[in-house]
């Protein structure tokens, strides 16, 4: 397993799915609970920001960890707050934030030696038997796949309703 590939393929899954969402449907609710595609991307952007802060800590780059701290304190409250913070942004702005922050995660992860990425217990709060790669697979790659499956179901519904004429890949 390679951590950079995990992040890369997770992002490609997101990008490949949301590029199929018509601009007019980005704010349609009920894609995931009451969230729209825009809200899902806002949610993923906040997770990426928390990952930037975590990877900064691991790589020895000091900086604020307000997003990571908020996530650690109350994950459900974190989701609600982070999505709400982005409500006034356009879908394009939310997407740009996600893309920019995701690129930062790649840059930061590349600075962490593979031996450190695979160090068991590096994230003591995650569990002594897990390494950073495990965390990325389950908490980021799997998380993105789950949400993009929800967006794919939404897209399928749009096709069935005739709101998208072409077949979704």
The alpha-helical segments, DSSP class H, found in the chain are 3-18, 37-58, 66-73, 75-85, 91-110, 114-117, 132-136, 142-160
- The pLDDT of residue 165 is 59
Residue 168 within a domain: no
Residue 38 within a domain: yes
The tokens for 103 are 């690129």
- 33-46 pLDDT, tens per residue? 999 999 999 999 99
Residue 118 within a domain: yes
The closest of 135, 134, 131, 112 to 120, measured between CA atoms, is: 131
pTM: 0.93
Q: What contacts 31, CB < 8 A, 6 or more positions away? A: 37, 39, 40, 150, 151, 154
- The pLDDT of residue 63 is 81
Residue 32 within a domain: yes
Q: Does residue 166 carry a pLDDT above 60?
A: no
Residue 167 within a domain: no
Number of domains in the chain: 1
Residue 97 within a domain: yes
Domain range for 84 is 3-160
How does DSSP classify residue 24?
A: G
- 87-146 pLDDT, tens per residue? 999 999 999 999 999 999 999 999 999 999 999 999 998 999 999 999 999 999 999 999
How does DSSP classify residue 123?
A: S
Q: Which residue, chain included where needed, has tokens 């996530």?
A: 71
Residue 166 within a domain: no
* Res. 1 pLDDT band, cuts 50 70 90: low
Contact (CB, 8 A) for 22 and 168: no
- 48-81 pLDDT, tens per residue? 999 999 999 999 887 888 999 998 898 889 999 9
CATH code (residue 108): 1.20.120.450
Residue 24 within a domain: yes
Contact (CB, 8 A) for 137 and 1: yes
């Amino acid at each position: 397993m390679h951590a950079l590939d995990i992040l890369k393929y997770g992002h490609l899954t997101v990008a490949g799915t949301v590029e199929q969402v018509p601009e007019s449907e980005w704010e349609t609710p009920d894609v995931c609970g009451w969230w729209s595609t825009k809200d899902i991307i806002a949610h993923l952007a906040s997770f990426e920001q928390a990952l930037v802060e975590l990877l900064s800590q691991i790589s020895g780059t000091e900086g604020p960890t307000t997003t990571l701290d908020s996530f650690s304190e109350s994950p459900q409250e974190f989701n609600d707050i982070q999505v709400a913070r982005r409500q006034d942004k356009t879908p394009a702005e939310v997407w740009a934030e996600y893309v920019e922050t995701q690129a930062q995660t790649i840059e930061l992860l590349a600075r962490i030696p593979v031996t450190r990425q695979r160090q068991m217990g590096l994230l003591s709060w995650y569990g002594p038997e897990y390494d950073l790669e495990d965390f990325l697979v389950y908490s980021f790659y799997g998380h993105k796949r789950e949400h993009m499956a929800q967006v794919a179901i939404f897209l399928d519904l749009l096709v069935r309703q005739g709101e998208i004429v072409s077949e979704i890949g």
